Amino acid sequence: MGRLLCLVLLGLLSTSAVWAQDEAYRPFYSRDTTRRHDLAVAQRAALRAEMPVPKTGSSEYREHYRRVVQEASADVYNAIRYAALLDPVVEPYVQQVFARILRANPQLPAGTRLVLTRNPEPNARAVGSSTVLLNLGLLPRLENESQLAYVLCHELAHGASHHLETGLRDRLATIHSKELKREFRRIVDSEYNIGSQLKALALSFSLSSSYHHRRFERQADSLGYVLLARTTYEAPQAYRTLQLLDIIDQPENPAPLPLAAQFSCAEFPRAFGGAPVASASIFTVKAAAKTVLETSDTLKSHPDCGKRMRFVQGLAQGRVAEGPQPPSPPDFDRIRRLSRLELVQSWFDYDCYDHALFEALQLLPQQPQNSYLRAMVQLSLFELRQHLQDHTFTEVVSNVSEHQAANFNELLRTLYQLRPDDFRELSACFARAAPLTEALAPADEFALAGRYAAAALAAPPTDPAVLALRDDYRRRYPQGRFAALRPAPVVVRHR
């Protein structure tokens, strides 16, 4: 009995330690970009080497092929050089999963690399046979390690099957074919309906490309399942992965944001929420219609998941995992939580302050005392007010759209109704609940930047308290991640 009690206490202590680690976690940042640069250069060179310009075909075709490969390799370089996440926690974890897959499938191309990027879009892609890019935004939407393994196996299957090269050759062969050129000349020389005929020709080409793309997806699903089955991961999770991808465009948490609880107080009472004002015109009355995303599978981030699920179900002979799954191993749940914090920072660093604010507010109810999340709310409010004053608000705030989550649209409508002075009141009410004091995080860059943002929202920029916080940040973090707070660079003038 005493041994059991000790084990229970140790379990509780370890759980508390995990939550404490999560509370103390800060998104990765390093001024040293050498590793990212070297990795980006290597993967750019690898893609160019495996896709040489064909020696056959017209000079126009070969030049077009060369330009596309150059653009694709430049895209890979930029994606890695400016977005690769090389942190000491999340990135090594996904690399371990990738390494287990490669060990179980030695026939895969040698030298294949996985790169984790800070891209918030929940997706992954293979670039040739040498590089798999995994977006950080996908990790929180997966439930366990086996699902992550299937995503990686699917992308490895694309690379092993040379789908990028095959698709490029097929598309360019069609574009430069004599048949297409002859049909284009016929349409241009015709007397009537030139525009509609050109649209029909473009549509037929688009549908043909979509057909080949979806054929590649089915092949990657098939080979990806085989690659997964050779590992120690759970192959039935492939089906559940496709279930999750089918609803990936839907919000993970559709609950309304607690805007009133976070931004309304006795000193500055404010009402939030409510449906958007409807038009009073009698000419706008119409029956409710479904959105394009609800009526078309084509516009989804991952189309045809229903068909792909049925195909995988056949491969698995009906042995599939359906519905919500428990995290396994338990460490994966922590990776998901840390990825969410990294995503908040990614949105902020990409100047998408509406998304950064939204994600931080969604996480705060679970971690109400998390000083990082509270700092990011203040910093997002600060940047939003700055852009409103500079008349660049629409550059950093999305438009309200029926294709977005209702709770995100609610936040956008609130933001578009604000005046510059309103941000001071929002910041004051938010800070009142749990102020970012020096005692809370005495040596934390984010907390210090958050305190500066709150002070700058409450007082003029020349206020001594604001200047003191700015100077304190510059003293402690002269190479910090917040460029607006760093010292101005010294300009050396040569005579």
pLDDT score at 329: 86
Residues of the chain with pLDDT under 50: 1-20, 201, 205-212, 277-289, 291-295
Question: 234 and 370, same structural domain?
Answer: no
Distance CA 313, CA 61 (A): 41
pLDDT score at 437: 61
Q: Which of 246, 280, 295 is the last residue in one of the domains?
A: 246
Distance CA 376, CA 392 (A): 20
Half-sphere exposure of 443 (CA within 13 A, CB side): 0
Q: Which of 246, 278, 313 is the last residue in one of the domains?
A: 246
Q: Which of 198, 226, 246 is the last residue in one of the domains?
A: 246
- Residue-wise pLDDT for 164-173, tens only, equals 888 888 887 7
| Prior bond of 329 cis (ω within 30°) | yes
What the block records as the tokens of 17 is 């330690």
- Residue-wise pLDDT for 292-320, tens only, equals 444 456 567 677 888 999 999 999 999 99
Distance CA 157, CA 217 (A): 9
Residue 206: its H or E element: helix 194-229
pLDDT score at 302: 79
pLDDT score at 393: 97
Give a yes or no: residue 228 inside a domain: yes
Q: How far is CA 200 from CA 152, 175, 188, 445, in A?
A: 37, 15, 13, 57
Q: Report which DSSP code applies to 84.
A: B
Strand order of the sheet with strand 124-127? 113-117, 131-135, 124-127
Give a yes or no: residue 378 inside a domain: yes
Give a yes or no: residue 333 inside a domain: no
Give a yes or no: residue 299 inside a domain: no
- Which residue segment(s) compose the domain that 421 sits in? 351-485
The pTM of this model reads: 0.85
Q: Please write down the long-range contacts of 413-420, taking CB distance under 8 Å and 24 or more positions apart.
A: 413/276, 414/259, 414/272, 415/354, 415/384, 418/384, 418/388, 419/388, 420/385, 420/388, 420/389
- Residue-wise pLDDT for 375-428, tens only, equals 999 999 999 999 999 999 999 999 999 889 999 999 999 999 999 999 999 999
Distance CA 332, CA 224 (A): 21
Give a yes or no: residue 81 inside a domain: yes
pLDDT score at 8: 31
Distance CA 484, CA 385 (A): 14
Distance CA 161, CA 144 (A): 26
pLDDT score at 39: 97
| 104, amino acid identity | A
pLDDT score at 21: 53
Distance CA 311, CA 279 (A): 47
Question: 355 and 242, same structural domain?
Answer: no
Distance CA 348, CA 235 (A): 37
